[in-house]
Amino acid sequence: MHKPEKWVGIAMKLFFGPRCSFFFRLSLLLILALLSLKAVPVSAAERMAVKVSLANVRTQADINSEIAWQVTKFHPFEVLEKKGDWYLCRDFEGDRGWLYKDLLDKTVTVISLKENCNVRSGPSINSQVIFIVDREVCLKVIKRQGRWLQVVHEDGDQGWIHASLVW
């Protein structure tokens, strides 16, 4: 294990030494600045959704690996990694597992975060409640209007839900 003090001492001797040119000092500063940066994601995680009625989430990227849990149609995931035909995904609770590529597509979906989420006839708190969904109900997004999402349930019921109630 390297001691940071040792590297700082070496850098200081190089930086302030009598044989150090301006360009060498500038290069050294840039290198140190780059080394101090933490990894930053290049882009936001890709979101995908389950496109079949029931999908197995596995512990490894292998059809013979253990099934960690099962999810239903429209279940949303963030894709973290791709390995061959498999995707390492994270769900709304942070759980991770592997899904085979043929089980997913890029349909925009959400999952309800709370019990008794009102789905309304329009994108307003004043619109009539037409149905209520429990926690962990998956919905396909048809349209977005401000902070409201027009959604459809797997059974065909449609309405509007506020974005704060879903992931």
Tell me the torsion sign for CA atoms 60, 64, 69, 72. Answer: positive
Query: What pLDDT, on the 0 to 100 scale, is given for residue 91?
Result: 98
Type of residue found at 166? V
Query: What pLDDT, on the 0 to 100 scale, is given for residue 21?
Result: 67
Residues of the chain with pLDDT under 50: 1-3, 34-43
Query: What pLDDT, on the 0 to 100 scale, is given for residue 40?
Result: 34
d(CA 103, CA 56): 9
Q: Are 104 and 56 in contact (CB under 8 A)?
A: no
DSSP 125: T
**Model's pTM, two decimal places?**
0.71
Region label for 77, one of left (φ > 0), alpha (ψ between -120 and 50) or beta (otherwise): beta
- Alpha helices in the chain, H assignment, sequence order: 4-16, 22-36
Query: What pLDDT, on the 0 to 100 scale, is given for residue 2?
Result: 45
Tokens encoding 46 = 């890709």
Query: What pLDDT, on the 0 to 100 scale, is given for residue 90?
Result: 98
d(CA 2, CA 123): 58
User: What angle (nearest 5°) sits at the alpha carbon of residue 54, between those of residues 69 and 80?
Assistant: 55
Give the neighbor-by-neighbor strand order of the sheet with 96-100.
67-72, 54-58, 96-100, 86-90, 76-83, 46-50, 104-105
